[in-house]
């Protein structure tokens, strides 16, 4: 079996674009992957085109050999652009291998250790009251875990005012009172606090038993993350902006966090996220894969989640709540969340197929947006 061609699909998804990868073989079996990086999809697309020159004629069943060639064999390594290109290719190769052997990818990773995958999604709203109402709505739809943004972009840069920190406490209090004690609540900070601010916020929210506090400080500053972690009883999570096992290594060795969040579209694909999870298991650290992305990314995450003993919970984006209900149609028979869980797929490979016509039709909107941006810049 040989790789004959690689195609990319850049599709409009409302607040962002999604980038899908499709690898074709000479035996008529193809595989899909996702390499979405918010705001950088066209750049990643160019990286995949560059990799395609190496991949043509290669045996797609030799996944590890190809991964090593693309990463270790490359002079310029790492970074979100290159690693996202590798990630999309890696997912597609696993999809091919599963289809050839007639089994879901998780069977090739050692088999499932659970029958379903626990999930969480995101709250909407700008005030504590709005978030509390949205939390009630999601709980009515049988979600049992939700997350809200505790600190977004700020006009004063990294310095937050007292009222900003106070709002975090008011928000989690309102959400907790709205949903009760049986629903897990997470905070995502996007790495925007200083260690002092993060510790102050952590102490403020501790009474409301948050499930975890995500990226309280910049993720590249492991010592600051460790300082925050040692000062709080709230579990600390990070990892969406770390790429490959080499970037996770020191984080794990120092026990700087309780939960890691590698992204299957950014950290090196299914192959690398599985390796990162195995490394974390040795340090008694759990994994909650980052995934505010598209339906192929979700399908790839489920394969890793199913076979990972130290898996905790899976992030899922609900695009219909972001004004883009058509995103689910980018794949045929998308994976469904029921009562806050995903049942293990039984179909070979990733378990989903790309709807090329839908993806191509939404590429027109991508071009329209790009042309509009160019006019604005001019």
Q: Are residues 139 and 277 in the same domain?
A: yes
| Residue 173: CATH number of its domain | 3.20.20.120
Quote the DSSP letter at residue 7. Answer: E
Same domain, 94 and 161: no
Residue at which a domain ends, from 104, 120, 148: 104
pLDDT (tens digit per residue) in 11-21:
888 878 899 99
Lowest mean pLDDT among 46-50, 85-89, 263-267: 46-50
Domain presence at residue 370 = no
> Which residues, other chains included, contact 18 with Cβ-Cβ below 8 Å and sequence gap of 6+?
10, 11, 34, 36, 41, 293, 294, 327, 330
Based on the fold, state whether residues 248 and 166 are members of the same structural domain: yes
Per-residue pLDDT for 41 more than 90? no
328, part of any domain: yes
Position 155 confidence tier, pLDDT thresholds 50, 70, 90? low
pLDDT tens digits, 169-217? 999 999 999 999 999 999 999 988 899 999 999 999 999 999 999 999 9
pLDDT tens-digit series, residues 296-313: 999 999 999 999 999 999
Residue 286 counted as domain residue: yes
User: Which pair of structure tokens corresponds to residue 363?
Assistant: 């590429």
pLDDT at 363: 61
Picking from 104, 130, 157, the residue at the C-terminal end of a domain is 104
- Mark out the alpha helices in the chain (DSSP H runs): 41-55, 63-71, 80-101, 105-108, 128-140, 162-179, 195-205, 222-231, 245-253, 269-281, 295-306, 356-377
Q: Which residue has the higher pLDDT, 76 or 140?
A: 140
Same domain, 220 and 324: yes
* 62 and 156 co-located in one domain: no
Q: Does residue 129 sit within a domain?
A: yes
What mean pLDDT, rounded, does the chain reach?
91
Residue 304 domain-assigned? yes
The residue segments making up the domain with residue 39 are 3-104
Q: Give the tens place of pLDDT for each residue, 315-367.
A: 999 998 888 888 988 999 999 999 999 999 999 999 999 988 876 676 655 44
- The DSSP bridge pattern shows strands 259-260 and 314-315 to be unpaired
* % of the chain beyond a pLDDT of 90: 78
From the list 122, 154, 255, 290, the catalytic residue is 290
Residue 374 has pLDDT above 50, yes or no: no
- For residue 163, pLDDT beyond 90: no
Query: Are 271 and 296 found together in one domain?
Result: yes
Instruction: Please name which of 20, 34, 31, 35 lies closest in space to residue 95, comparing C-alpha atoms.
Output: 31
Based on the fold, state whether residues 315 and 245 are members of the same structural domain.
yes
- Whether 290 is a known active-site residue: answer yes
Same domain, 95 and 112: no
pLDDT at 282: 97
**Given the residues 122, 154, 190, 363, the one annotated as active site:** 190
Hey, which of 1-15, 19-33, 66-80 has the most confident mean pLDDT? 19-33
In a domain, 367, yes or no: no
Catalytic annotation on 154? no
Residue 375, in any domain of the structure: no
* Confidence grade of residue 73 (pLDDT, cut at 50, 70, 90): confident
Same domain, 27 and 129: no
pLDDT at 42: 87
CA distance 60 to 24: 9
What is the Cα–Cα distance from 296 to 88, expressed in whole angstroms? 10
In this prediction the pTM is 0.93
Structural domains in the chain (count) = 2
Indicate whether 342 belongs to any domain.
yes
What sign does the CA torsion over 54, 58, 60, 62 have?
negative
Q: Let me know whether 62 and 143 are in one domain.
A: no
Looking up residue 98, the CATH number of its domain turns out to be: 3.30.390.10
User: Mean pLDDT throughout 136-161?
Assistant: 80
Task: Provide, rounded to the nearest whole percent, the portion of the chain with pLDDT above 70.
Answer: 92
98 with 128, same domain: the answer is no
Domain end marker among 89, 104, 119: 104
| 169 and 89 in a common domain | no
């Amino acid at each position: 079996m040989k790789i004959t061609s690689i195609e990319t699909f850049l599709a409009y998804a409302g607040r962002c674009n999604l980038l899908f990868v499709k690898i074709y073989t000479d035996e008529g079996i193809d595989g899909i992957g996702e390499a979405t990086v918010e705001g950088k999809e066209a750049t990643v697309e160019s990286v995949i085109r560059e990799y395609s020159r190496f991949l043509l004629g290669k045996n797609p069943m030799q996944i590890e050999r190809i991964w090593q060639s693309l990463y270790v064999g490359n002079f310029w390594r790492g970074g979100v652009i290159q690693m996202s290109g590798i990630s999309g290719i890696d997912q597609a190769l696993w999809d091919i291998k599963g289809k050839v052997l007639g089994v879901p990818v998780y069977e090739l990773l050692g088999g499932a250790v659970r029958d379903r995958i626990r999930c969480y999604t995101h709250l909407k709203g700008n005030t504590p009251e709005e978030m509390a109402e949205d939390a009630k709505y999601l709980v009515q739809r049988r979600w049992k875990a939700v997350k809200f943004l505790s600190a977004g972009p700020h006009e004063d840069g990294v310095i937050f005012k007292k009222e900003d920190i106070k709002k975090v406490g008011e928000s989690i209090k309102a959400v907790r009172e709205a949903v009760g004690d049986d629903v897990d609540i997470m905070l995502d900070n996007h790495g925007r606090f200083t260690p002092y601010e993060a510790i102050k916020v952590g102490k403020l929210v501790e009474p409301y038993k948050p499930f975890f506090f995500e990226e309280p400080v910049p993720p590249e500053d492991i010592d600051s993350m460790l300082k925050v972690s040692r000062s709080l009883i709230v579990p600390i999570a990070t990892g969406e902006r770390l790429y490959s096992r080499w970037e996770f290594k020191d984080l794990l060795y120092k026990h700087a966090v309780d939960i890691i969040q590698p992204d299957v579209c950014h950290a090196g694909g299914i192959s690398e996220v599985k390796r990162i999870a195995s490394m974390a298991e040795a340090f008694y650290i759990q994994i909650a894969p980052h995934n505010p992305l598209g339906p192929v990314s979700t399908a790839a995450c489920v394969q890793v989640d199913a076979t990972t003993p130290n898996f905790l919970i899976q992030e899922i984006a609900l695009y219909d709540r972001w004004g883009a209900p058509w995103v689910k149609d980018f794949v045929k028979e998308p994976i469904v969340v029921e009562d806050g869980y995903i049942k293990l797929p039984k179909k070979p490979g990733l378990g989903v197929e790309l709807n090329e016509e839908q993806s191509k039709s939404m590429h027109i909107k991508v071009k329209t947006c790009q042309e509009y941006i160019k006019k604005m810049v001019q």
